[in-house]
Structure 1
């Protein structure tokens, strides 16, 4: 999460920002989006004050604590992923909140609608539910003999539950049997993956702080179990997953920086429509494919925006 931060004397200003990501790698993605603010923006942390960092490391129980800390500083704007936004919304109804990566802000109750968010929240929607079917189409091309798909999700995060439902519907439409795998903490991951360790199953990871923070463990266990993995974000493929299809996350944070700039210049979050991503990418890890014994069709590789070897 990013926010208006602390000035040279420890006084809150609109010119600086601090970050609270899902893990240290995610924090770097946040920084990437904010390092090059829009021309004329008030976000240049290189020349203004301090930039203390905060991240929950996949522990959603810390969201209220960190949100309260931001509010008490106070800060001028808070930039939050969808997984933490509910806690921030409960903590303040006055400080503007910009959603950087929210799976379903309307379905999660964060905003009234995309066109008229209302209240103190605006930002970016990941559209995770709407592209689930396309992800499965790519997976079927990679694994044609697939019959079932395990859906890893945190039942305590409403957006992940919504995504799970969309994936279940999409799976049935293409002849796959969906299997729900609930993971509320890191301790739940190994038993969940062990429960679907067969040759005709793949693993789909829903967007959530728990899943994101433990992606290396998930990919390692899945590979050991011979399970192809499918995600919505490129970083999961970079850490050993098989493939992903979804919005370009750095582009979302860059756009979030622009929305923050608008707010710092006087715009009201209620008047700024929640935007949907316009840049999507298909990423494939060829090394993982080889380890799984998969021979990917040339037609699929030709569609990939990035092939990791």
Structure 2
């Protein structure tokens, strides 16, 4: 073979090799388990943030990645079924939404890697052995530290100093509701604020629970972090307005829905960061060795329209600290 022909043949083979390699590239499978409804814009945005993060890491659906998403819509029986269905698909890793998803997934499998995108109390819930070294098939990102709970009460008193009695809407399944109550209770004592628990769960009568609490002009409301609160967001905002309760929420989505004020993490950021752990697990690292990480930023968001409806004059100092003020 002449030298020129050999070089031409070699060049053609080199050019064809990446195409062949791409054609044979292994498709990895990622499951996503959400305990919310598929028609909820915020939940769709979180899944989109995860997908964008994976794309930035070099993963492309249809080429080297497949994503299977299940929406359990707050239904416990359906959540268990969806978890079992996802595990049966043989995924390389599953991304778990809010708290109960991880619990149910670990009941189904202790071997399939799990990345928690918005867990609350992974150690207390038994999902991991420690934050630094999870030691199980799960790792991921917490929504907040429990000390944040005291900040909700401080903010509530700043914007509504007349509040003397505060209802804490909490979910008692797991340790998170109890822990948040304890932190808020410690902060309430020096302020002379009376606390009243409003215990809820996804299948309960939240309307009645809030109505039974709201009976005075000096009442206020703190919505603690829970899957029930996330699922019932619109209802909780409506109830706070109906009973004229100044309320502080854990996420900005409540304020976008008409709520008064929120202070908490950016959940989209948690899903973007989860993509980095999915990427690392797909490349061979183990959840047991990846530390559980806390949020990097908390946001204060205020709704001026909601404040006016309650005849609240927001202090300039609070408005100045806000990351966003919705008119």
TM-score (norm 2): 0.85
Query: Aligned partners of 2:280, 2:101: CA distance in 1, in Å?
Result: 22
- Quote the offset at 1:153 in angstroms: 1.5
Query: Aligned partners of 1:199, 1:107: CA distance in 2, in Å?
Result: 37
2:183 matches 1:166? yes
Larger displacement relative to structure 2 (97-106 or 56-65):
56-65
Q: How many residues align?
A: 298
Contact (CA 8 Å) 1:157, 1:208: kept in 2 or not? no
- Quote the offset at 1:284 in angstroms: 0.7
2:239 matches 1:221? yes
Q: Within 5 Å, give how 1:14-33 maps onto structure 2.
A: 14=28, 17-23=31-37, 24-33=40-49
Which of 162, 167, 181 is the equivalent residue of 1:150?
Answer: 167
Query: Aligned partners of 1:166, 1:70: CA distance in 2, in Å?
Result: 36
- Quote the offset at 1:174 in angstroms: 2.9
Flag the 1:83–1:42 CA change in 2: closer, same or farther, 3 A. Answer: farther
Contact (CA 8 Å) 1:16, 1:43: kept in 2 or not? no
Flag the 1:39–1:218 CA change in 2: closer, same or farther, 3 A. Answer: closer
Flag the 1:38–1:85 CA change in 2: closer, same or farther, 3 A. Answer: closer
- Quote the offset at 1:278 in angstroms: 1.1
Query: Aligned partners of 1:73, 1:120: CA distance in 2, in Å?
Result: 17
Q: Deviations over 1:243-275 (max 9, x none)?
A: 111111111111001111010000111110000
SS at 1:105's partner residue? coil
Corresponding residue number in structure 1 for 2:88: 72
- Quote the offset at 1:166 in angstroms: 2.4
2:131 matches 1:117? no
Which of 116, 136, 140 is the equivalent residue of 2:153?
Answer: 136
Query: Aligned partners of 1:195, 1:154: CA distance in 2, in Å?
Result: 17
Larger displacement relative to structure 2 (100-109 or 256-265):
100-109
SS at 1:37's partner residue? helix
Query: Aligned partners of 1:121, 1:226: CA distance in 2, in Å?
Result: 41
- Quote the offset at 1:40 in angstroms: 6.2
Query: Aligned partners of 1:184, 1:15: CA distance in 2, in Å?
Result: 33
Which of 35, 44, 50 is the equivalent residue of 2:60?
Answer: 44
- Quote the offset at 1:83 in angstroms: 2.9
Contact (CA 8 Å) 1:154, 1:183: kept in 2 or not? yes
2:298 matches 1:280? yes
Q: Which has the higher helix share?
A: 2
TM-score (norm 1): 0.89
Q: Which runs of 5+ in 1 are unaligned?
A: 1-11
Q: Which runs of 5+ in 2 are unaligned?
A: 1-25
- Quote the offset at 1:50 in angstroms: 5.7
Contact (CA 8 Å) 2:27, 2:66: kept in 1 or not? no
- Quote the offset at 1:196 in angstroms: 2.2
Flag the 1:17–1:93 CA change in 2: closer, same or farther, 3 A. Answer: closer
Query: Aligned partners of 2:140, 2:235: CA distance in 1, in Å?
Result: 31
Corresponding residue number in structure 1 for 2:205: 188
Two-structure CA RMSD over aligned residues (Å) = 2.1
2:225 matches 1:207? yes
- Quote the offset at 1:82 in angstroms: 1.9
Contact (CA 8 Å) 1:147, 1:175: kept in 2 or not? yes
